Structure 1
C-alpha cells in the first residue's frame, strides 16, 4: 500500500510540474499561481501549495525544460542561420515567454536571476558575447511590439 501512495504522490508532483511548464509556455511566468495550477490539474490550492510552497519552488519545475525548448528553436549552423532562426522564433509565443522570463528575471533578486544569468552565460559561450548581445537587443526591441 505504501508503494502505491508514494507512486501517487510522485505522479501528483509530476502533474503539478507539468502544469507549471504548460501555463508558463502558454501565458508566461506572471500567470503561474496556486489558483492557475489548481485549475490546470484539478487539485486543490492547498494540495498544490504542499508540493510547491512558493514561486521559487515553482521555478524548480522547469528542470532545464525552458532552456532546452529555447535552444531547440534555433539553428546554430552559422551566424546567418542563427539570426534567421531567432527572428522566426520570436513569432512563437512559447519562445517569447521564455525570453520574457529570462529578461525579466534579471531585475529580480531571486533564483530566477541566477537561472537567467546561467542561461545567458551558456548561450554566450555557444554563440559569442557580441552575437548574444545583438540577439537580445533585437528581442527587446521586437518584444515592445508584441
Structure 2
C-alpha cells in the first residue's frame, strides 16, 4: 500500500512541475502562483504548496527545460545563423518568456539568478561572450516593444 501512495505522490509532484512549466511558457513567470497551478492541475492550493512551498521550489521544476528550449530554437552552425535564428525566435512568445525570466532574474537574490547565470554562461560558451552580450542587448530592446 505504501508503494502506491509513494507512486501517487511522485505523479502529483510531476504534474505540478509540468503545470509550472506549461504556465511559464504560455504566460510567463509572473503568472505562476499557487492559484494558477491549482487551477491548471485541479489540485487544492494547499496541496500545491506542500509540493512547492516557495518560488525557488517552483523554479526547480524547470530542471533545465528553459535553457534546453531556448537552445532548441537556435541554429549554432555559423555566427550569422545564430543571429538569424535568435531574431526569428524572438517572435515566439515562449522564447520571449524565457528571456524575460532570465533577464528579470538577474536582479534577484534567488535561485533564478543562479539559473540565469548558468544559462547565459552556457550560451556564452557556445557563441562567445561578445556575441551573447550583443544578442541580450538586442533582446532587451525587442522586449521593450512588448
In 2, Cα distance between the equivalents of 1:118 and 1:3? 36
Question: 2:131 — aligned with what?
Answer: 131
Deviations 1:45-68 (A, max 9, x none): 000000000001000000000000
State the SS of the aligned residue for 1:77. Answer: coil
In 2, Cα distance between the equivalents of 1:23 and 1:40? 8
Question: 2:3 — aligned with what?
Answer: 3
In 2, Cα distance between the equivalents of 1:118 and 1:7? 32
State the SS of the aligned residue for 2:145. Answer: coil
Structure 2, unmatched stretches of 5+, are none
State the SS of the aligned residue for 2:61. Answer: helix
Question: 1:49 — aligned with what?
Answer: 49
Deviations 1:1-47 (A, max 9, x none): 11111111010000000000000000000100000000000000000
Question: 2:72 — aligned with what?
Answer: 72
Question: 1:83 — aligned with what?
Answer: 83
Task: Give the aligned CA root-mean-square deviation in angstroms.
Answer: 0.5
In 1, Cα distance between the equivalents of 2:55 and 2:129? 30
Structure 1, unmatched stretches of 5+, are none
In 2, Cα distance between the equivalents of 1:11 and 1:38? 15
> Cα offset for 1:122?
1.0
